[in-house]
Structure 1
């Protein structure tokens, strides 16, 4: 057998490959694309993700391109009034909070995987189907280099439109849940941004039926800017999951907001639009020696910034389960799924709820702002302990907190 196969070389797939290799397994990563292209903009890596990335040997390579925000600053969109400040400290959870370009994270994972002798990277032939074969799995490969392959087990990290998930669940249709919201993303060069936007913090602006997120990335060379807008049914139109978008539409939607927000939006050199969707929690994540991971198992809305982090957690728990098994991958994968299902379902639900809270209008928004401003830092921070303090299986895999030299 050719070890464990991983379908997809995204953040979840590469993290899974590295995690499995770290517990002594041989892994082949099958990626449909012939080469990985830089995609997306910024990604927030909360401590629960950074703890795992440190164990995988990726965190140090990522630091030069990362920014460690000292706080989350929450402001009201119409007048820039400060509603809350949430400090981000590495000491609370034993790992830093970092913001990076998604392309930098994927490059760091890919370089680490390419340097790992137990990992084979195979491009141009993604896994399109599977079938049980003895104690292993027979893979059907599609893409530019079709064919077949054998593996001891299969980890499907092939995204929200996972072919493996469709086969496993018997679904032939797109069963994603529409959110009625779109994310408009841009990278603003530091030279075009004001000093306030370049400060090492994560910024959240709240408004009626819209909110704005921005933070510096690439060591401060750019500001990652995300505008989330309620669009109803029109958010689901168009042919692409990521498509160019007109600046005028964003500027018009935020015309009544405070001047600093409007100036940052006006400085954006171009926009791409993502239509946001998730999926109801799955009852089934495994089929014998086949397991789903990341967006293939639990796509989520970005309002807790946990899409990448939960995929990275998945990788840690999967490897922990495999390491603790007696070689029975089907049993190990079942243990992994049972350990992950409730947590990821909670993150999915809270992410969806958070979007509703962010987009409240008067009078509900007035009450939200009052509660937020009166909670105080300690209670605001404590509200995220369940999320940023990772589960026991993640800490067990990571071997405890990272070195004390981690930035605060």
Structure 2
């Protein structure tokens, strides 16, 4: 009996992780990526233990040495005066949760995944080829492909839509009316700053979170301390961006400086040191009624785009990939396996979406509500605050 064949739309972190998990489960995999060149894009992200444990099994973590940061703590600071509201210790993260807590640039993680994929004979990437449609039947699935002016087809045993928040696979699977991903009137401004342009405190091996009125700021060093990754998230009143502007626009530093003019000098100096800002609109959606239909399934942002306030976008896609591999390894009935994958993941992913939204509201409080939040953070203490993330970070044992 020939090995089963999976078609994957999208070569992002979710798609590449899914390909590796399926290959380890005995599947042949074809990945179709609409971009002709897999460029190094994005910004820093956290690999919390729930995700790094999976990447360890895939032999990807070892490839990140020299690029990732193992932070000693998460520091929460108040915007107006820079006061530390909480210091959450991470030195014991691996023993506490079962795997390392890492900070990494998205491009470095994608490169490591691509290297791992290149070593798998069972995986093929087709760049510059987009999935334009599909037909799913009892015996398999056929994907309609577009490569420039060419129209092609590919046949397989299942199709995985890992094609992002604006997923074509999702739109065709559920119908356009069910595709309610929306701009949440917040933007993330991202920059990488050379280490020689920042104050020494910005190079401490920690993730620093600043909380202010209708905005927050996150920064941490990357790539062996050569750069500092900075993300500033702002509430916005502007209209939703056009689809072609979904991922990256140039940001005007003067706008950012004005919005942070009342913040502590350390935060303002860090923002002023950035030479190039990219601005991303943030996308969210209500939990879907289902992730699968027959031989087609959604994964990552295609299934559950979420705001970044828990830092779980990439981590949840990686969790999806592991669950998908396990479910399809456990049965030869592909539709049953895909349904089992969705059943195993939906409740947890839905909770992460809800908690991310709530976290965003807490981060951007102002006035008396912000005062109460800050007092609660100080009273709770770093260790007890960290314990609130045990449900999320603890490695799930099968």
> TM-score range with shorter-chain normalisation?
over 0.9
How far apart, in 2, do the equivalents of 1:57 and 1:63 lie?
12
1:25 is aligned to: 27
2:366 is aligned to: 361
1:243 pairs with one of 249, 257, 270: 249
How far apart, in 2, do the equivalents of 1:65 and 1:173 lie?
39
1:292 is aligned to: 298
* 1:234, distance to aligned residue in structure 2 (A): 4.1
How far apart, in 2, do the equivalents of 1:133 and 1:34 lie?
30
Q: Secondary structure at the match of 1:184?
A: strand
How far apart, in 2, do the equivalents of 1:248 and 1:161 lie?
30
- Give per-residue Cα distances to partners, 1:354-395, cap 9 Å, x unaligned: 11100000100011001111112331111001110144xxx3
- CA pair 235-369 structure 1, distance change in 2 beyond 3 A: farther
2:127 is aligned to: 123
* 1:238, distance to aligned residue in structure 2 (A): 8.5
1:6 is aligned to: 8
* 1:146, distance to aligned residue in structure 2 (A): 3.4
RMSD, aligned α-carbons: 1.5
Q: Does 1:45 align with 2:42?
A: no
* 1:3, distance to aligned residue in structure 2 (A): 0.8
Query: Is the deviation greater in 167-176 or in 368-377?
Result: 167-176
Q: Does 1:15 align with 2:23?
A: no
1:150 is aligned to: 155
Q: Does 1:302 align with 2:299?
A: no
Asked if 1 retains the 8 angstrom alpha-carbon contact of 2:165 and 2:283, the reply is no
How far apart, in 2, do the equivalents of 1:173 and 1:247 lie?
37
- Give per-residue Cα distances to partners, 1:73-130, cap 9 Å, x unaligned: 0000000010001112211111111111111000100111011111111112121211
1:202 is aligned to: 207
1:330 pairs with one of 316, 323, 335: 335
Asked if 1 retains the 8 angstrom alpha-carbon contact of 2:137 and 2:294, the reply is no
Asked if 2 retains the 8 angstrom alpha-carbon contact of 1:68 and 1:97, the reply is yes
TM-score normalized by the length of structure 1: 0.93
Unaligned runs of 5+ in 1: 397-408
Query: Is the deviation greater in 84-93 or in 291-300?
Result: 84-93
What does residue range 9-408 of structure 1 map to in structure 2 within 5 Å? 9-88=11-90, 89-144=93-148, 146-171=151-176, 175-234=180-239, 236=241, 240-241=245-246, 242-325=248-331, 327-391=332-396, 395-396=397-398
How far apart, in 1, do the equivalents of 2:280 and 2:335 lie?
36
Asked if 2 retains the 8 angstrom alpha-carbon contact of 1:182 and 1:235, the reply is no
- Give per-residue Cα distances to partners, 1:108-156, cap 9 Å, x unaligned: 0011101111111111212121102441101101242531010011111
How far apart, in 1, do the equivalents of 2:268 and 2:243 lie?
27
Asked if 1 retains the 8 angstrom alpha-carbon contact of 2:190 and 2:279, the reply is yes
Q: Secondary structure at the match of 2:293?
A: coil
Asked if 2 retains the 8 angstrom alpha-carbon contact of 1:125 and 1:146, the reply is no
Number of aligned pairs? 392
Asked if 1 retains the 8 angstrom alpha-carbon contact of 2:74 and 2:89, the reply is yes
Unaligned runs of 5+ in 2: none
How far apart, in 1, do the equivalents of 2:379 and 2:137 lie?
60
How far apart, in 2, do the equivalents of 1:339 and 1:228 lie?
32
TM-score normalized by the length of structure 2: 0.96
